[in-house]
A and B are shown apart, each in its own frame.
Chain A
């Protein structure tokens, strides 16, 4: 059984996996030739549907189904989301820096299948190296006739434009990204209309994540059924997981889902450094509710199993915290992030995130009040009524509800620690 798709080339050829010559020498652009000459556009879309690949950007919506929603009017656009900014996530950076042609071939095949003649890659401004590597790949591809007018004599034409962001997490949300790409403030749009109907310049647009698109050449070559056969039924294929925090072997791991969290953290990640005990981990980036060892070590690493346990795999960021972690300080860091990144459109998020940050800060500073726990839960309930999972929303996008995750996590799993921190404040204030 195949256990790696995306990282094979970079592992085998660390010195030049990003170059066109190495890409060609390892079977690169053969999938494109197959797509252009042996497959119809519909065939490709059918293979992607058959792959059951769920979008790798966080929401987990099946890529082929999304493609099926694309309205037939022209022009249409493909926008690749490389605005990877979820705290804990760094796998798109590796895929873009280390194998940019794999991403680019995915873009070309996808554009052909979707009837797109101009694709954009939105790269976060803090990733200049990824942007340089991908731009070099784009330049090489134009030169070799994989981009531009009449791609490899097929009659299909495609231009690719790279676009750097300006340091705003919210632009990873697809409609905020589209606004940003249009030269506007990165504020999410109300949906519907969905981008597939009215996206970039109000034209039909598919927005896909880097990892999703990087899988397209393999799916084109090997067929959707083969991809669907990898891993658990509703978590098909491989997934890049970024593991960081208090972990012996941090890094990106391309895994087949279906193992337990115990195996992931202790076998693959090498466990907790310095013989310390595991206190908690975030299974899917800063937006996700935390897991704790007593409850979740034997939970399965899959999109559905994590969701059934009240959290998410998201974009695949696992952040591990050892026994020495001050969970209130950790929650404050995450809440501070969302308060900083709130776009300000929706009142519950704009006001709520800042208040949550302020209350956590005063608890950390030794000025906590006994009513602060209820106050934080009340603010959280205004942002995401009912405090359930998946979160209810009072806002246009999920950023606000994401802020609630660390709050419900520490109040649920570490309430005594939070209470004793507040109690110490009481004594200090006297």
Chain B
């Protein structure tokens, strides 16, 4: 069964194995495995879906049926930096449409599209649970609250110019954010390296090298 992913990186194979071991029924591993597979393949490709299907003993079309239900499983390659602008009600009331326009302007990319050089994708998203710090933006799902159109423009310039390897929410909040939903507590040194939620067991959290910085 694991042989189907023998071409994956050893780390990702180990992650897949430990994910499979954490559920009593292996089909439950489907969504976590899609995240790992999308790191391995850059997105949820047809190959990724075939491999995940084999790992959990269901058919590829069953995997596809699930993958297509959820917005976070990308079935095309997205940019290195996925810029998600919340335009739901509380962000809307606090000027999110202007933030989205500023992001589109600064990137030259319309919502739903990816830059030709593959650097940035832009999307507007529904509520991301940052209403007290509206308007809010996520870069590769790392949160920045209290973003103004000017700050959004500066954020895009920073992303494109410095091309950070690891996105730290605290750093971005400090540089480009404003009012927050609540006190976040101390700084964290884990962040996102890819447009996949930065969660260690799925292999997608980075930045431990920055510990103590």
Complexed CA–CA distance, A108 and B201 (Å): 21
Contact: A250 with B201, CB < 8 Å?
no
Q: Using a Cβ–Cβ cut-off of 8 Å, how many residues does chain B contribute to the interface with A?
A: 60
The stretch among B9-17, B107-115, B158-166, B182-190 that forms the contact with chain A is B182-190
Contact: B73 with A244, CB < 8 Å?
no
Digitize B21-36: 1 where CB-to-A-CB distance is under 8 Å, 0 elsewhere. Answer: 0111101111110110
Digitize A167-188: 1 where CB-to-B-CB distance is under 8 Å, 0 elsewhere. Answer: 1110000000000111111110
Complexed CA–CA distance, A166 and B127 (Å): 14
- A114 interface contact, C-beta 8 A: no
User: What chain B residues lie within 8 Å of A92 (beta carbons)?
Assistant: 129
A211 to chain B, nearest CB (A): 13
The stretch among A80-88, A140-148, A190-198, A358-366 that forms the contact with chain B is A80-88
Complexed CA–CA distance, A181 and B25 (Å): 10
Q: A88-B127, A164-B32 are in contact. Are A251 and B142 (CB under 8 A)?
A: no
User: What chain A residues lie within 8 Å of B66 (beta carbons)?
Assistant: 183-185
User: What chain A residues lie within 8 Å of B25 (beta carbons)?
Assistant: 182, 201
Query: Which of B32, B65, B198 has a CB less than 8 Å from the CB of A163?
Result: B32
Q: A90-B131, A245-B90, A330-B89 are in contact. Are A135 and B185 (CB under 8 A)?
A: no
A93 to chain B, nearest CB (A): 5
Q: A88-B89, A135-B199 are in contact. Are A319 and B24 (CB under 8 A)?
A: no
- B103 interface contact, C-beta 8 A: no
- A333 interface contact, C-beta 8 A: yes
A188 to chain B, nearest CB (A): 13
Chain A interface size band reads 35 or more
Contact: A166 with B181, CB < 8 Å?
no
- A18 interface contact, C-beta 8 A: yes
Complexed CA–CA distance, A388 and B202 (Å): 45
Query: In the complex, which residue of chain B has the Cβ closest to the Cβ of A250?
Result: B132
B65 to chain A, nearest CB (A): 6
Contact: B185 with A15, CB < 8 Å?
yes
- B143 interface contact, C-beta 8 A: yes
B26 to chain A, nearest CB (A): 8
Contact: A337 with B129, CB < 8 Å?
no
Complexed CA–CA distance, A98 and B185 (Å): 7
A353 to chain B, nearest CB (A): 13
Complexed CA–CA distance, A75 and B24 (Å): 10
B61 to chain A, nearest CB (A): 13
Complexed CA–CA distance, A183 and B94 (Å): 37
- A381 interface contact, C-beta 8 A: no
B72 to chain A, nearest CB (A): 4
Digitize B113-147: 1 where CB-to-A-CB distance is under 8 Å, 0 elsewhere. Answer: 00000000000011111111110001001110000
**A184-216 interface with B by 8 A CB criterion:** 184-187, 201
A124 to chain B, nearest CB (A): 7
Contact: B185 with A17, CB < 8 Å?
yes
Q: List 10 A-B contacts (CB under 8 A).
A: A16-B185, A85-B129, A88-B127, A162-B201, A169-B127, A182-B25, A201-B24, A242-B132, A319-B89, A325-B93
Given contacts A118-B24, A182-B27, A337-B88, 19 further A-B contacts (CB under 8 A): A16-B186, A85-B126, A88-B127, A88-B131, A94-B182, A128-B197, A129-B169, A132-B198, A135-B200, A167-B71, A201-B24, A242-B132, A242-B181, A252-B132, A282-B89, A319-B90, A329-B92, A330-B93, A337-B126
Closest 7 pairs between A and B when the two form their complex, measured CB to CB:
A166-B70, A183-B30, A244-B131, A167-B72, A183-B27, A167-B71, A87-B127
